[in-house]
Amino acid sequence: MFKPVKIIQIGVCHEHANGKIQSLKLLPEYFDIVGWVDERTFSQTPRLGNGCNMERYEGIPQLTLDEALNYPGLEAVAVEVPNNDLVPIATKCMERGLAMHMDKPAGEELAPYKALLDGCKARSLPFQMGYMYRGNPVFQFIQHLVRENALGEIFAIDMDMNHGYGGEEYQKYLAKFKGGIMFNLGCHLIDFIVSIMGRPERVESFLMSTSDVAPGTKNNTAAVLGYPHATAFIRACSRHASGGVNERRLKIEGTNGWVEISPVERFDNKPLELNICLKKACCGYPAGGNVIKFPPQFDRYTEQLIELAKMIRGEAKSPYTFEHDCLVHEVTLAAAGYTKWS
């Protein structure tokens, strides 16, 4: 029986930091949380308010960044600093030979992130990106269906990351990034699309603003990923009238059928329900329409973090290659208007 992995969370201000420390605390058999770092002592990059639930860190030693990077016997870090600090801090961790979970997005340039990935690969360091749907059972099931060709040739994908939380503070936060909400949230969807479709031939970006914000606030965005015989359409808007998170949807259509789900995640002790319709029976599912129910989710991140622990212990390999992670960010930068696709 392996001992729990010694881990430190660096950062408390990323939008997922509160959830990540809570998930780590739910997994004492996998992780020994030996400390945390408050990046507000050194970070000057844009962040969404303070956004920190400091009660979640009670009972865990607070460390400086230097203390964390030089902690005796440390095996892993969770990098949860603001967006534009993620790659620089993760690079410091890589240089010290630490396995890591790094949240998204991977910076406003490709080269520094690629250097980070290359460094982790050269050192054989377990590396995991925090794209939030990787541990989602429905997304994993759809990946299985696509691998088995259950839907036939995919010709259309439609997904969104709409929401209505955060108020005016969130709009001001988005204005700090050229790519707006597509940069901040679209990467979650791009990670999934690239996992089933690979490298697109075209990437078109549409960065718009709702009428009630400054023109530089790209809070109403879309992107189209073009493939030889398919299109993938992504939307992300931060002005959804009813909050949006519970209306987020995914639909994939192929020549043998389609799948659709909304909401794509829920934590209210109710099952996720995937609608599936097949022209011909496949993978144990009959032709016609069906509803597949999945057990209730209790946490967004635990599945992925357990996978990280197993990677560190040599019990599992990452299902995502360094090349995949690099491609996802390359597509994200084009979808968010930072680069032109070629």
Domains of the chain by residue range: 5-132, 137-299
Q: 167 is written with which tokens?
A: 């108020």
Q: From CA 329, how far away is CA 90, in angstroms rounded? A: 15
Higher pLDDT, 32 or 165: 32
User: What pTM, to 2 d.p., does this model score?
Assistant: 0.96
User: Is the sign of the CA dihedral 275, 281, 286, 292 positive or negative?
Assistant: negative
| pLDDT value at residue 50 | 65
Question: How sure is the predictor about 51, in pLDDT bands with cuts at 50, 70 and 90?
Answer: low
Above 90 in pLDDT, residue 47?
no
**Amino acid, single-letter form, for residue 295:** P
| pLDDT value at residue 342 | 86
Mean of pLDDT values over 158-186: 95
Q: 46 is written with which tokens?
A: 């844009």
Q: Do domains 5-132 and 137-299 have the same CATH topology?
A: no
Q: What is the pLDDT of residues 80-95, one digit of tens each?
A: 999 999 999 999 999 9
Q: From CA 78, how far away is CA 39, in angstroms rounded? A: 13
Mean of pLDDT values over 312-321: 97
Question: How does DSSP assign 109-144, residue by residue?
Answer: -SHHHHHHHHHHHHTT--EEE--TTTT-HHHHHHHH
Please tell me the CATH superfamily of domain 5-132, with its number.
NAD(P)-binding Rossmann-like Domain (3.40.50.720)
Q: What is the pLDDT of residues 275-291, one digit of tens each?
A: 999 999 998 999 999 99
Of the listed ranges 56-65, 197-206, 243-252, 305-314, the least confidently predicted one is 243-252
Question: How sure is the predictor about 54, in pLDDT bands with cuts at 50, 70 and 90?
Answer: confident
Backbone angles phi, psi at 206, to 5 degrees: -130, 105
To the nearest whole number, what is the mean pLDDT of the chain?
Answer: 96
Above 90 in pLDDT, residue 224?
yes
Q: What is the pLDDT of residues 325-337, one digit of tens each?
A: 999 999 999 999 9
Task: Please tell me the CATH code under which domain 137-299 is placed.
Answer: 3.30.360.10
User: 3-class SS at 332?
Assistant: helix
Above 80 in pLDDT, residue 243?
no
| pLDDT value at residue 317 | 96
Q: What is the pLDDT of residues 119-132, one digit of tens each?
A: 999 999 999 999 99
Mean of pLDDT values over 105-112: 98
Q: Which residue intervals of the chain are DSSP H helices? A: 17-25, 65-69, 86-95, 111-122, 137-147, 167-174, 180-181, 187-197, 302-312, 322-335
Above 80 in pLDDT, residue 182?
yes
